Chain A
Amino acid sequence: MANIVEVRNLKVEAVTDAGRVVTIIDDVSFDIADGEIVALIGESGSGKTTIALTLMGYARPGCRISGGSVKLGAHDMAGLGESECARVRGIEVAYIPQSAAAAFNPAHTIMDQVIEVVRIHRLMPLRDARAKAIELFKALALPHPETIGERYPHQVSGGQLQRLAAAMALIGDPKLIIFDEPTTALDVTTQIEVLRAFKSVMQGKKIAGVYVSHDLAVVAQMADRIIVLKGGTIQEAGATEQIIKRPGHPYTQALINAVEPALFAGVNAKEEAAKPPLMEVSNLYAGYGGFLDKGLPRLLAVKHVDLRVPAGHNLGIIGESGCGKSTLARAIAGLLPAVTGNILLEGKALAPYARHRSREQLRQIQIVFQSADTALNPSKSVSEILERPLLFYHGMTRRDRAKRVGELLDMVKLPRGLGNRRPSELSGGQKQRVNFARALAADPKLILCDEITSALDTVVAAAVIDLLKELQRELGLSYIFISHDLSTVRAICNDVAVMYAGEKVEQTSPDKIGQAGGHPYSRLLFDSVPKLDQGWLDSLKQDEALIEAYAVR
């Protein structure tokens, strides 16, 4: 079988803002055979997307292909000029982006954008192109294939857009398609649909592919071969089966271990019922927008939710995007006042508005957000960030604060020297630790963790989870742990509440979730989490009715 892609000694350099040149891809070589799908796997910053883009002769602004060759069929993409590359792009090699929602131009109809490649390269009459696009829509199992093209991007769901992006890539009959984390932004139930559509089209058309992902389980379903990357160099390459079954490199092993963390071995479930609950929420309603006649907000995001968190226990809240889990956290923290319902902290009712709560009450509940980037004030140093709650809640002197900051940094396993840095000088994992340390500084009883690991790479996320557990043991904290990722929740929670469309549909222990007898939505959610098993996707049988009822396509 001939190779469609031959990459030799690829080197990519980037210029930093300070003007320094750094090598971000170093000495990478690999081949892709006709019709073969090769996965590039690694964490963020590993250079996987950068490598994939060089196959299109493209380096993002600030980067430059500085060495080696990238043979794509007859062309060396590393050596072509901009206009020559443009002639190749779209017809020989096509790209499916991570976020189709961002990659579709909001100002034009989907059809216009899908057939744009035809227009640019004058491949065929536009009428034929439209017919071909509709064929592709059908092949990708899109609903209303005849008319979906007339819509605008914002009128279709994320999962559909992702498939439409595939149609956009396929329209020019490329020999190679680059998938750049195409399902990362999707909910698990949606992801399955999309993966299936991709797989069937690729198999049908015998097109070679590069599948860029950080998710081994997903890659296992799609790729023939896997290349493991770290820090811009290849760590290990091999057939999919070999990599997931017999990883050679310790880094690969770490990746595999992080996919399915162990279940939480919490305290005995029996004991907890006896204790008075730390936090009790009953019949909570919350939402956004102006108020309607009956005193309910225009957009009700949380409906009739009851929760109970015994001291020292962790409650996981799981659900897909838009299920109201973050709103629930905000209502508890008093950021978004609950419309009705009670929030009791150690048996005492909390006011709906944070500003009506006492400082002591506020201190006991802390909230930690998903995106460490936006959760830390970029203009302050780590010490300043950590000192504020110490001053605010505890009125500590300057010296005590400095001492305590050191202790807090120790607790979250960060070097003390980091105190002088600003958030922009920290890595994602470090930021999330600072974020968490700030919550700890208050000396709280309950920490609301809103998707705190979602933006982190799997290995880093696993380490953060371990830290959380450790701190809980030492400090006797309780967490309300909100996530869309079932395995993470199961790794840390005594109890898991499943939310769907604003309501809590089920609350059970982590080992029982998704088992027969549970709520059907929980089962669907459980089933949809990819397994590190090559045959998982093909063998997965799901209840069509269930998907119809719950999956947000």
Chain B
Amino acid sequence: MTTDTVSPGRRVSYRFNKIGLMSLCIILAWALVAFLAPLLAPYPVGKIVNFEFYAPMSAKFWMGTDYLGRDMLSRVLMGARYTVGISLVAVALACFMGVALGMMAAVLGGWIDTVLSRLMDALISIPSKLFGLVVVAGLGSSIPVLILTLAVIYTPGSYRFARALAVNINAMDYVVVARARGEGLGYLVRSEILPNITGPVLADFGLRFVFIVLLLSGLSFLGLGVQPPFADWGALVRENLGGLSLGAPAVVFPSLAIATLTISVNLLIDNLPRKIRDQGA
């Protein structure tokens, strides 16, 4: 119902609630760690610093040592670089491609929409882990291959999501008005549609980021992730899985690192400020 008085609830804030703020802080902290890792790490990543493997936590080795006697703190800090870095680039690529193509399909419609949608449907029907395995196993694991593979895997999902949103926005009168004005595809997509789907796309971005972190660690588990002696968190868990029954900190800390990151992202999405969440929803 339209009102002729500005209803009191309309002015909403960008403020985060407590949980959202906490999650955001954790995520930013990890991002910072990823950025500064080489400065923060007390020991070189591949260096065996202790002849005892699975050493417990100590003043010298805050997170103990791993299965070869390497300092876990350094490895977890550097792991942030790979986990956060690769996932972030991959998710950015996936969302960029997915959102761009999705909006294009929604605005142009017709055979372009049909062809794109069918192609994406086909891609989505191949199980993501297997697809990743096939490509990475075949082409060999390197960081660019990992990033591209992860991006391709998550593009169709992002495409579908963005397309669904864009189709809704595309039917809005202001887009119709812009069309009637004679605006081209670029303007429609950039100025009319994109700003109004950013909220949900942002949430989707976060969710997909979590999926990518987990898929990356899954690939690492199968030995196809970041190659040693470097290791992302998933690879760290995998390397030290043998220490699980010994309660070694070497397996606990990277697991915790993954969990804090992914849980924070999930919580952040659930607790996004209304203003962002509702953008175009």
Asked if A and B touch directly (CB within 8 angstroms), the answer is yes
Q: When chains A and B are docked, how far (Å) is the Cα of A45 from the Cα of B195?
A: 29
Q: Give the contacting residue for A22; candidates B8, B178, B196, B274; CB below 8 A.
A: B8
Q: How far is the CB of B239 from chain A (nearest CB, A)?
A: 47
Q: When chains A and B are docked, how far (Å) is the Cα of A334 from the Cα of B182?
A: 10
Given contacts A380-B195, A389-B181, contact A425 B10 (CB under 8 A): yes
Given contacts A333-B180, A354-B180, contact A379 B195 (CB under 8 A): yes
Q: Are B181 and A45 in contact (CB under 8 A)?
A: no
Q: Are B1 and A392 in contact (CB under 8 A)?
A: no
By a CB distance below 8 angstroms, the chain A residues around B280 are 378-379
Q: Are B4 and A20 in contact (CB under 8 A)?
A: no
Q: Give the contacting residue for A16; candidates B11, B174, B198; CB below 8 A.
A: B11
User: Which residues in window 412-470 of A have CB below 8 A to B?
Assistant: 424-429, 431, 438, 442, 455-457, 460
User: Which residues in window 1-45 of B have CB below 8 A to A?
Assistant: 1-13
Q: When chains A and B are docked, how far (Å) is the Cα of A542 from the Cα of B280?
A: 47
By a CB distance below 8 angstroms, the chain A residues around B173 are 369-371, 374-375
By a CB distance below 8 angstroms, the chain B residues around A431 are 2
Given contacts A374-B172, A425-B10, A456-B4, contact A335 B196 (CB under 8 A): no
Q: Are B177 and A369 in contact (CB under 8 A)?
A: yes
B192 beta carbon closer than 8 Å to chain A: yes
Please encode chain A, from 363 to 393, with 1 for each CB lying within 8 Å of some chain B CB and 0 for all others. 0011101111111111110000000110011
B179 beta carbon closer than 8 Å to chain A: yes
By a CB distance below 8 angstroms, the chain A residues around B174 are 374-377
Q: Give the contacting residue for A334; candidates B4, B180, B191; CB below 8 A.
A: B180
Q: When chains A and B are docked, how far (Å) is the Cα of A43 from the Cα of B3?
A: 8
B114 beta carbon closer than 8 Å to chain A: no
> Nearest B residue to A362 by beta-carbon distance?
B182
B279 beta carbon closer than 8 Å to chain A: yes
Q: Are B8 and A357 in contact (CB under 8 A)?
A: no
Count A-B contacts at CB 8 Å.
Answer: 108
By a CB distance below 8 angstroms, the chain B residues around A378 are 196, 280
User: Which residues in window 215-259 of A have CB below 8 A to B?
Assistant: 231
Please encode chain A, from 343 to 369, with 1 for each CB lying within 8 Å of some chain B CB and 0 for all others. 000000000001101010010011101
A44 beta carbon closer than 8 Å to chain B: yes
A18 beta carbon closer than 8 Å to chain B: yes
> Nearest B residue to A429 by beta-carbon distance?
B4
Q: How far is the CB of A429 from chain B (nearest CB, A)?
A: 5
Q: Are B177 and A45 in contact (CB under 8 A)?
A: no
Q: Are A357 and B182 in contact (CB under 8 A)?
A: yes
> How many residues of chain A are within 8 Å of chain B by beta carbon?
52
B183 beta carbon closer than 8 Å to chain A: yes
Q: Are B2 and A379 in contact (CB under 8 A)?
A: no
Given contacts A22-B8, A380-B195, contact A44 B3 (CB under 8 A): yes
Given contacts A18-B11, A44-B1, contact A392 B182 (CB under 8 A): yes
By a CB distance below 8 angstroms, the chain A residues around B172 are 374-375
By a CB distance below 8 angstroms, the chain B residues around A376 are 174
> Nearest A residue to B171 by beta-carbon distance?
A374
Q: How far is the CB of A12 from chain B (nearest CB, A)?
A: 13
Q: Are B6 and A18 in contact (CB under 8 A)?
A: no
By a CB distance below 8 angstroms, the chain A residues around B180 are 333-335, 354, 362, 365-367
Q: When chains A and B are docked, how far (Å) is the Cα of A457 from the Cα of B1?
A: 10
Among B172, B177, B182, B192, which residue has the most Cβ atoms of chain A within 10 A?
B177
B256 beta carbon closer than 8 Å to chain A: no
Q: When chains A and B are docked, how far (Å) is the Cα of A455 from the Cα of B3?
A: 9
B130 beta carbon closer than 8 Å to chain A: no
Q: How far is the CB of B160 from chain A (nearest CB, A)?
A: 23
Given contacts A16-B9, A375-B173, contact A427 B4 (CB under 8 A): yes
Q: How far is the CB of B55 from chain A (nearest CB, A)?
A: 50
Chain A: residues with CB nearer than 8 A to chain B? 14, 16-18, 20, 22, 24, 43-45, 62, 231, 333-335, 354-355, 357, 359, 362, 365-367, 369-380, 388-389, 392-393, 424-429, 431, 438, 442, 455-457, 460
- Listed by A's residue number, 22 A-B pairs whose Cβ atoms lie within 8 Å are A16-B8, A17-B10, A17-B12, A44-B1, A44-B3, A231-B5, A334-B180, A335-B180, A362-B182, A365-B180, A367-B177, A369-B173, A369-B177, A373-B2, A374-B173, A377-B174, A378-B196, A379-B280, A388-B181, A392-B183, A425-B10, A427-B3
Beyond A379-B198, A380-B195, list 15 extra A-B contacts (CB 8 Å): A44-B2, A44-B3, A45-B4, A335-B180, A354-B180, A365-B180, A366-B180, A367-B176, A375-B172, A377-B191, A380-B191, A392-B181, A425-B11, A427-B4, A427-B6
